[in-house]
Structure 1
Amino acid sequence: LPARRSRTRVAVIGGGPAGLWAARHILSRPEAFDPPVVYEMTDHLGGTWFYEERVGTYDNGYPIHSSMYRDLRTNLPKEIMMFPDFPFDDRLNSFLHHTSVQQYLEKYCEKHDIARHIKFSTVVEKVKPVSMETETGGAVTWEVISRSTRGDQNTQTFDSVFVCNGLITPLHLPFYLSVSHLLAFICAFIHCCFAGKVLHSHSYRYPEPFANKSVVVLGARASGVDISIELAQVNAQVILSPNTPTMSLPPPLGIRQASAVVGVLEDGSLQFQDGSVTQADILLFCTGYNFNFPFLCPSELGLDVQDLFVTPLYKYLLPPGFPSIFFFGICKIICPFIHFDCQVKFALAVLEGSVKLPTQEEMEKEVQREMQRKQDIGVQVKHLLNLDKDQWDYYLDLARVGRFTPPQPVFESLYEEVRRQRQKDPQKYRQINYRLIDATQWELLEAPPEQTDRV
């Protein structure tokens, strides 16, 4: 009789939403997979949804992971944030306080008995391929070296690795500054030309310390706009400096919009692209994060990791030369939980063998074609991983190839409706509540189901 095929062992790096969703689906397939080992460097689950009052570093010296601020509310409604098999409490408003999302993840973890598979307070120091069987088409064994906060080192071997550590430090500096402007920027601070404080939104927690101060906010995506609104409500004089066309902000907020910051003058003034100049007490970067995988040698995997771009990743997920390591949540401007759902199901289909991948050369060519297609329509390299409206076709593609049910059309419809409401009034759109009717329809609720923020 032929030897019984052993089950696949998977290491999951990160105990946030992607890691928990991956663990739950691995656990649901005991005939094909051993229970996962989930590595989490903190003593809690939730990833970025776990609010940390402190900033800087943990006790183990690693950077604080969470970017939550005290009053953050989701910018997507719970109706399109939920995992498909685990809806949020109906009594909650559509737009949730971050504590409700954290409690949701804790309940999800409890329901599926995931916590006992998580190695808390354990940092992954190294992930490396240690063997390759060329006869079987490139099967790789992965060595994962980890260290607990007590200093104990551990090495385990896996058939696959799921990278779910999210977008973490290093912080991304303004991508619209030229090299000369950036050097001037840094030199100005070194020589104390800019007398104010400089910080990144990663270290922002609440607006009160900014009351009655002049603040220039660099970057006008979700966090930049939300934080600007918070600051204006404590009478900060806010100048929002986007790298995109100006948006409509309610006049009563008193937020002034300016062009992009291009440098710092000798007297410490900030100069904008249109030639205007201003003095500021605080310069707040809301400019995102670079990719960072300190436990990997990307070049060893054939990957080019730039500040805002990683390539080549077939289906935005796996290196063509190493199709048993998967990077989840690399894409931006997405519905995160729906995104994780489709990516995890596709990855497990690959590992189970129900998806036959193209050759390495064919996968590399497909990645190149997709990136070239985007660049041909004017997408800059730094935005190549932004999906936005393209995410729905991406999910359909993953579902078709992976042979699983794609997200319901109602999610795309509601996503676009929320976008319209956000653009119409970025301050008040979160007051709206929705209800899903069926796979294609949603409705507005006349009044909130219950005025509560927490589970």
Structure 2
Amino acid sequence: MRLRVAVIGGGAAGLCALRHLSARPDRFEPVGMEQQAGVGGTWRYTDLVGTYPDGTPVQSSMYKNLRTNLPKEVMAFPGFPFPEELPSFMHHTDVQNYLERYCSHYGLERYLLFNTKVQQVTPLRRDSKTEWNVTYCTNGKQHCEIFDAVMVCNGHYEVPLIPNIEGQDVFQGQIIHSHDYRSPEAFSGKRVACLGAAPSGQDISLEIATCAQQVILSHNKPRLPTVLPENVNQKTGIKQLTHNTVVFNNGDEEPVDVIMLCTGYRYSFPFLSAECAVTIEEERVTPLYKHIIHSRLQTLSFIGICKIICPFPLFDNQVRFVLATLDGSCPLPPAADMEADIERDFRQRLAEGLPARHAHTMGSRQWAYNDMLASMGNFQSIPRAIQNLYDEVHRIRVLDLPNYKNRRYKITGEEGFQEL
């Protein structure tokens, strides 16, 4: 029996889902739904911030000069490499072009509904199985369709996570989230405090420093050991704001003109009905078995929830794992066992000192995770060369943040790579 599968989102994760579903027309009938006019998701750059002219929120968090912080050699979907002539650390337009070529190569346009906003997803219990009523609007016309499964691939770089900082209501400067950052020229001659030192905070701080008078990289991590430009200083996290200064957690106080919030994003699934029983608390989405499959509604899955990852290869693994559960080749445990597994994973993270909001953070965990999915789904895992190069880039980035993107690499085998 063919299963009708709704794929929500036409970014990298959604395209990957459509690619693998459409490769098995005897088993699956995919329908992709994308709210923008084309593929790419967050990689579809726009100069606009806030909302589009029609009032819908701008989805992309790309900024004008963004280059990838991972080399193309580890970013590609399996079997579909980036063009060899590109530098290892590419401009964001190169990634957008890659996704468009991926879509064209696998003929995915025929499965996609563009300018389509999913309004509601509701589970229906029929004949001892769960089906899905999906309501969506395409070019102003509403539709309702029944599906056998739903794959949520809507990304998590659209809804900014805005911290509540004491004194932000009296601060007379500008407070902006990195979601709305586009270019450094707007900060020419200004004193800027960037809150957050994850990859976006690091990159944006360095870029703003090319124009700003001073940049303060504010975070609660151990001090970054990298060399930094002369006008970039590290400070602890922000304790409070006054009308024109920042007071840091260590008591230091500095005058600033702009607070740049590089504080991450919230998971958001406004289209899921209450009956879907998906909860988000402290940026932890539950109940997701292996960070993917709803433990009680097992034909509802989420691709790309994990953070700090090598994204496209991991998406590919997650999609193939989901398909193995849908076609029956990878039977799922009872719901109670899946929920016990979810809890064990979360408790292990807490025991290691991670806060609850890092429930889906991977980092070095991603390799064992990828291997586990491949073993369970009976498919080939990511070559060890990808891990080895990923780890090498991380090592260099930590020590030389301003210059690591100037390097070029080449994969030389299942485990090896070389710097060119």
Alignment of 1:6-45 (within 5 A): 6-34=1-29, 36-45=30-39
| Counterparts of 2:266 and 2:282, CA distance in 1 | 5
| Counterparts of 1:160 and 1:427, CA distance in 2 | 45
Alignment of 1:71-82 (within 5 A): 71-82=65-76
| Counterparts of 1:44 and 1:56, CA distance in 2 | 19
Q: State the 1:260 CA deviation.
A: 0.5
Q: Which residue of 2 aligns with 1:153?
A: 142
**Cα-Cα RMSD:** 1.3
Q: Which residue of 2 aligns with 1:48?
A: 42
| Counterparts of 1:443 and 1:27, CA distance in 2 | 35
| Counterparts of 1:15 and 1:261, CA distance in 2 | 37
Which of the numbers 132, 140, 164 marks the counterpart of 1:142? 132
Asked if 1:184 corresponds to 2:166, the answer is: yes
**What's the secondary structure of 1:331's corresponding residue?**
coil
Task: Note if contact 1:302-1:319 (Cα within 8 Å) is conserved in structure 2.
Answer: no
CA separation of 1:289 and 1:25: change in aligned 2, threshold 3 A: same
CA separation of 1:251 and 1:86: change in aligned 2, threshold 3 A: closer
**What's the secondary structure of 1:435's corresponding residue?**
strand
Letter aligned with residue 72 of structure 2:
K
Q: Which residue of 2 aligns with 1:347?
A: 322
Task: Note if contact 1:290-1:307 (Cα within 8 Å) is conserved in structure 2.
Answer: no
CA separation of 1:218 and 1:354: change in aligned 2, threshold 3 A: same
Alignment of 1:119-130 (within 5 A): 119-130=113-124
| Counterparts of 1:208 and 1:302, CA distance in 2 | 45
| Counterparts of 1:318 and 1:211, CA distance in 2 | 47
| Counterparts of 2:137 and 2:228, CA distance in 1 | 52
Which of the numbers 310, 329, 340 marks the counterpart of 1:365? 340
**What's the secondary structure of 1:257's corresponding residue?**
strand
Partner deviation per Cα, 1:269-310 (whole Å, 9 max, x = no partner): 22110111122111110000011100013x533332124211
Letter aligned with residue 143 of structure 1:
N
Which of the numbers 291, 294, 314 marks the counterpart of 2:270? 294
| Counterparts of 2:255 and 2:266, CA distance in 1 | 28
| Counterparts of 2:237 and 2:165, CA distance in 1 | 16
| Counterparts of 1:183 and 1:342, CA distance in 2 | 39
Q: Could you tell me the TM-score, scaled by structure 1's length?
A: 0.90
Q: State the 1:132 CA deviation.
A: 4.1
Q: Which residue of 1 aligns with 2:156?
A: 167
Q: State the 1:373 CA deviation.
A: 1.6
Q: State the 1:252 CA deviation.
A: 3.4
Partner deviation per Cα, 1:240-286 (whole Å, 9 max, x = no partner): 10131110342434201111101123x44221101111221111100
Extract unaligned runs of 5+ from structure 1.
1-5, 175-181, 446-455
**What's the secondary structure of 2:166's corresponding residue?**
helix
Task: Note if contact 2:124-2:130 (Cα within 8 Å) is conserved in structure 1.
Answer: yes
Asked if 1:238 corresponds to 2:215, the answer is: yes
Q: Which residue of 1 aligns with 2:376?
A: 401
Asked if 1:62 corresponds to 2:37, the answer is: no
Alignment of 1:189-228 (within 5 A): 189=169, 193-228=170-205
Letter aligned with residue 308 of structure 1:
E
CA separation of 1:277 and 1:132: change in aligned 2, threshold 3 A: farther
Q: Could you tell me the TM-score, scaled by structure 2's length?
A: 0.97
Task: Note if contact 1:232-1:253 (Cα within 8 Å) is conserved in structure 2.
Answer: no
Extract unaligned runs of 5+ from structure 2.
none
Letter aligned with residue 98 of structure 1:
H
Asked if 1:248 corresponds to 2:225, the answer is: yes
CA separation of 1:318 and 1:60: change in aligned 2, threshold 3 A: farther
| Counterparts of 1:252 and 1:387, CA distance in 2 | 30
CA separation of 1:13 and 1:129: change in aligned 2, threshold 3 A: same
Q: Percent identity?
A: 41
| Counterparts of 1:253 and 1:384, CA distance in 2 | 36
| Counterparts of 1:59 and 1:39, CA distance in 2 | 21
Which of the numbers 252, 257, 261 marks the counterpart of 1:285? 261
| Counterparts of 1:376 and 1:216, CA distance in 2 | 32
| Counterparts of 2:157 and 2:417, CA distance in 1 | 35
Task: Note if contact 1:218-1:242 (Cα within 8 Å) is conserved in structure 2.
Answer: yes
**What's the secondary structure of 1:238's corresponding residue?**
strand
Task: Note if contact 2:67-2:89 (Cα within 8 Å) is conserved in structure 1.
Answer: yes
Q: State the 1:156 CA deviation.
A: 0.9
**What's the secondary structure of 2:159's corresponding residue?**
coil
Q: State the 1:49 CA deviation.
A: 0.7
| Counterparts of 2:89 and 2:393, CA distance in 1 | 11
Q: State the 1:228 CA deviation.
A: 0.6
Q: Which residue of 1 aligns with 2:240?
A: 263
| Counterparts of 1:122 and 1:307, CA distance in 2 | 29
Task: Note if contact 1:233-1:253 (Cα within 8 Å) is conserved in structure 2.
Answer: no
Task: Note if contact 1:259-1:272 (Cα within 8 Å) is conserved in structure 2.
Answer: yes
Q: Which has the larger radius of gyration?
A: 1
Alignment of 1:423-438 (within 5 A): 423-438=398-413
Which is richer in strand?
2
Letter aligned with residue 218 of structure 2:
S
